[in-house]
Amino acid sequence: MTESSPRRFNEQAADALQNVELQQALNHMRAGFVQRRREAIDRLPEFEGLRDESQAIKNHTLDHLDLYLEAFEKKVTEQGGRVHWAKNAEEARRIVLEICRAVDARTVTKGKSMIGEEIHLNAFLERNDIKPIETDLGEYIIQLRNEMPSHIIAPAIHVNKKRVAESFREHHTKLPADRTLESRVDILAEARSELRGRFVAAEVGITGANFLIAETGTSVIVTNEGNGDLTQTLPQVHVVLASLEKVVPTLEDATTLLRVLARSATGQEMSVYTTFSSGPRRPDDPDGPEEYHVVLLDNGRSALYGTDFQEIFRCIRCGACLNHCPVYGAIGGHAYGSVYPGPIGKVLSPALMGIDNAGNLPNASSFCGRCQEVCPMRIPLPKMMRHWREVEFDRKLNTVRARWTLGLWAFFVRRPGLYRIATRLAVGLLSRCARRRGHFRTLPAAGDWTRHRNLPAPQGGTFQDRWRKKRLDR
């Protein structure tokens, strides 16, 4: 397993910048997702209106979450399914294990689930002699490579086809060693035939949920491959993993959210398969699972309701914030060292892991604001990162140097007269020192900058002086 951690963000980010294959993959990604999203939105004049409504639907649901969860549970139970409540990852894993043991499961197929990643389910099942098989192609690839997903909707975005072929040759040992495995077509065909048998053999199928619907006791998954559907149709037992905030009131509300989800994520009008599951197979159904379980995971979330962080639970995991983030685009997902990478992870991970364990993440941002701009749910991600930075400072978690610098800066900005004098002095001094060249090659205390590039010297006075002069001129 690649042992990365938010604590080592700086080293991991530096490594990512040097990784040629990763950089090629990221270049490719940026263009695709951004452009396709733009085109899809341009085709739908009502998109901004749908965003407003989606935001209102989620705000309403989150404000009444306890009541909607109870309504959801009642409806699932009425249809012969069962809802399990898990306070933390350990409890969720134990519930899944008990369900698997009850049917003597040896293999479990899995549709893509970020909750599965969050509770580290695969490693746990393996320790208990149950073989988990990821069936989303991207998830399958990273399972073979023993990695975490590097993107919430494109988990293997960092892997090129040559590396995929290497993993397949290493793991699919029953196939002839001299087979052709050059093109993406070959690779996909091999994945399809390898996994087909697994779908049929598994006793339990585990999926995530994009939405839960309180009105009908339904879980909804959205996929393009159809792997989630085979996972939840063929085995005897279907287990849904979901966090509390996935519930929405009605079919109509889920529909509104679906209209912004695929367009924001991949730029599709609609993902290929949007599947609504309610309870186990009915008495006269010729196929489908005999048991239906929903595991609702809290894992620290309930404590954040009623606080400024409640807004993060509007997230529908479309990945648009990752696709548009200059930091994610430069370093990819693994450098963050947390299950949820990119802007959403910078806010969510400190909440779930504790700020002491994830302190670097809210700092990994240039505050350009694109994440908030493209977020279909208009989550104020930069504001929330800033909030974590404040918590970090209050709890004295930053480095001594960062605290000292911030303290010094705070001292001056609270005294505007002194600040003006000090900045004038500094600007004057710096521009005099660099008069001939106009830039510095080295400067004390600015080594992190000048190691990579020259530091331009200030010219023409402080910002405040220039601003005042400009106003007078007008």
Partner 1 sequence: MNSREAILGALRTNLRRAADGGEGAKTVMKRLTTHAQNLIPMRGQRDLSARVALFEDYAVDAASTVARVASTEDVPAAVAKFLRAHNLPTKLVRAPDPRLDAIPWRRQRILTLEARPATENDAVAVTGAFGAVAETGTLVLTSGNTSPTTLNFLPETHIVILWADQIDPDYESQWTRLRARYGEGMMPRTVNLVTGPSRSADIEQTLQLGAHGPRRLHIVIVDV
| Closest to 65 measured CA to CA, from 348, 302, 384, 256 | 302
| Closest to 326 measured CA to CA, from 360, 366, 359, 363 | 366
**Tokens 């040992």, residue located:** 173
141-180: which residues touch partner 1 (CB under 8 A)? Answer: 141, 154-157, 160-161, 164
Which of 41, 244, 320, 352 binds partner 1 (CB under 8 A)? It is: 244
Which of 270, 425, 433, 446 binds partner 1 (CB under 8 A)? It is: 270
Of 101 and 196, nearer to partner 1 (C-beta) is 196
Of 162 and 439, nearer to partner 1 (C-beta) is 162
DSSP character at residue 397: -
DSSP character at residue 244: G
Which of 124, 199, 211, 340 binds partner 1 (CB under 8 A)? It is: 199
Q: How far apart are CA 211 and CA 251, in angstroms?
A: 10
Binding-site size for partner 1 (CB under 8 A) equals 104
- Based on the shown chain and the rule CB under 8 A, indicate whether residue 194 belongs to the binding site for partner 1: no
Site string for partner 1, 433-462 (x = CB under 8 A): ------------------------------
Of 227 and 360, nearer to partner 1 (C-beta) is 227
Could you tell me if residue 39 is left (phi over 0), alpha (psi between -120 and 50 degrees) or otherwise beta? alpha
DSSP character at residue 376: T
Minimum gap (Å) between residue 70 Cβ and partner 1: 7
Q: Give the CA dihedral 349, 351, 356, 358, nearest 10 degrees.
A: 10
Q: How far apart are CA 218 and CA 251, in angstroms?
A: 9
Minimum gap (Å) between residue 110 Cβ and partner 1: 13
Minimum gap (Å) between residue 224 Cβ and partner 1: 5
Minimum gap (Å) between residue 124 Cβ and partner 1: 18
Query: How many residues are listed for the chain in this entry?
Result: 474
Q: How far apart are CA 182 and CA 298, in angstroms?
A: 44
Binding segment for partner 1 (CB under 8 A), chosen from 70-78, 334-342, 352-360, 435-443, is 70-78
Of 65 and 427, nearer to partner 1 (C-beta) is 65
Q: How far apart are CA 212 and CA 1, in angstroms?
A: 32
Which of 93, 259, 314, 389 binds partner 1 (CB under 8 A)? It is: 259
- Based on the shown chain and the rule CB under 8 A, indicate whether residue 70 belongs to the binding site for partner 1: yes
DSSP character at residue 311: G
Which of 107, 233, 236, 450 binds partner 1 (CB under 8 A)? It is: 233
Minimum gap (Å) between residue 223 Cβ and partner 1: 9
- Write the single-letter amino acid at 342: G
Which of 99, 125, 191, 331 binds partner 1 (CB under 8 A)? It is: 191
Of 296 and 364, nearer to partner 1 (C-beta) is 296
Q: How far apart are CA 380 and CA 54, in angstroms?
A: 15
8-37: which residues touch partner 1 (CB under 8 A)? Answer: 25, 28-29, 32-33
Q: How far apart are CA 91 and CA 107, in angstroms?
A: 21
Other CB atoms within 10 A of residue 300 CB: 14
Ranges assigned E (strand) in 194-269: 204-207, 211-213, 218-223, 237-243, 247-248
Q: How far apart are CA 120 and CA 133, in angstroms?
A: 14
Minimum gap (Å) between residue 374 Cβ and partner 1: 18
Minimum gap (Å) between residue 192 Cβ and partner 1: 6
Minimum gap (Å) between residue 264 Cβ and partner 1: 15
Of 35 and 146, nearer to partner 1 (C-beta) is 35
- Based on the shown chain and the rule CB under 8 A, indicate whether residue 368 belongs to the binding site for partner 1: no
Which of 2, 49, 404, 418 binds partner 1 (CB under 8 A)? It is: 49
Q: What angle do CA 72, 75, 79 make, to 5 degrees?
A: 140
287-316: which residues touch partner 1 (CB under 8 A)? Answer: 287-288, 296, 298, 302-307
Quote helix, strand, coil % in the chain, to nearest 5.
55, 10, 35
Partners of 242 in the β-ladder: 296
Site string for partner 1, 74-103 (x = CB under 8 A): -x---x-----xxx---x------------
| Closest to 239 measured CA to CA, from 316, 291, 317, 297 | 291
Binding segment for partner 1 (CB under 8 A), chosen from 252-260, 311-319, 350-358, 363-371, is 252-260
204-223: which residues touch partner 1 (CB under 8 A)? Answer: 214-218
How far from chain centre, in Å, is Cα 362?
Answer: 14
**Tokens 């001939």, residue located:** 436
Minimum gap (Å) between residue 168 Cβ and partner 1: 11
Of 216 and 357, nearer to partner 1 (C-beta) is 216
